[in-house]
Amino acid sequence: MSAELHGVDPEVHEHVRAEAERIQGWGEAAQRWARDPVNQTTINNWVEAMGNDNPRWHEGEAPPSMAQVWTMYGQGGRASEDDPLHAMMGVLTDAGFTAVLGTNSDQTYHRTLLVGEQVRVTTALDSVVGPKRTGMGVGYFVTSRSTWYVDHDSGEAEPVASMLFRVLKFVPRSAS
C-alpha cells in the first residue's frame, strides 16, 4: 500500500475519488430558497444574540454575516438529495470516515440584505483532498462553495455573499 494513502485501502480511496468527481459534476445543482424573506424580527434576534448594537441593523438592513442564516435548514431540517456537501459527507461516512472537524470558512460579502428581500443559495462541491494524515487522524478535506443570491424582477440574479467552507472528514487517530 502506498505511503501516500496513509493506510487507506486503495479501493476505498478510488471509490472516494470517483464519488467526488461524480458529485462535482453536479455543479451548482443544489439550490435552496430561504424559508422567509429577510425580516426585522430575525435581524433583531441575531444582533441581540451577537451583542451588535449598530443602529443600521434596526433600520431595515441585515448584517452581512447573517447571509447564511436565511437559508439554514432549521431545527430538524434535512439536506436535500442534491446537496453536494451532504452527499460527499455521506460517501465518506459510509467509507469509515466518521468524525468531522470544521477547519475554516472564507466568506465574501458583496452587500447587505434589505428587509423584504428573498434569498436563495446555490452550493457546489469545490474539492476533496486526501487522504491526509493530521493530528486528529487520517481523512479528507472537503470544500464546498456556496453563493447567496437575490433575484430581481428584471430576471437578474445578484450575488450578495459567497463562502468556501472546508471540513476534515476523518477516522479518529485512536481508531485508525
Q: What is the pLDDT of residues 123-142, one digit of tens each?
A: 999 999 999 999 999 999 99
The superfamily (CATH) of domain 3-172 is: Hotdog Thioesterase (3.10.129.10)
Residue closest to 140 by CA, chosen among 3, 20, 2? 20
Task: Give me the residues paired with residue 171 across strands.
Answer: 138
By the 8 A CB rule, do 35 and 74 touch?
Answer: yes
The one-letter code for the residue type at 59 is E
Measured distance CA(77)–CA(71) in Å, rounded = 11
* DSSP type of residue 68: G
- The domain spans of the chain are 3-172
State the average pLDDT over residues 113-131: 96
Residues 24-42 have pLDDT tens digits of 999 887 889 999 999 999 9
Cβ count within 10 A of residue 58 = 12
Position 117 pLDDT exceeds 60: yes
> What angle separates helix 84-94 from helix 10-24, to the nearest 10 degrees?
170
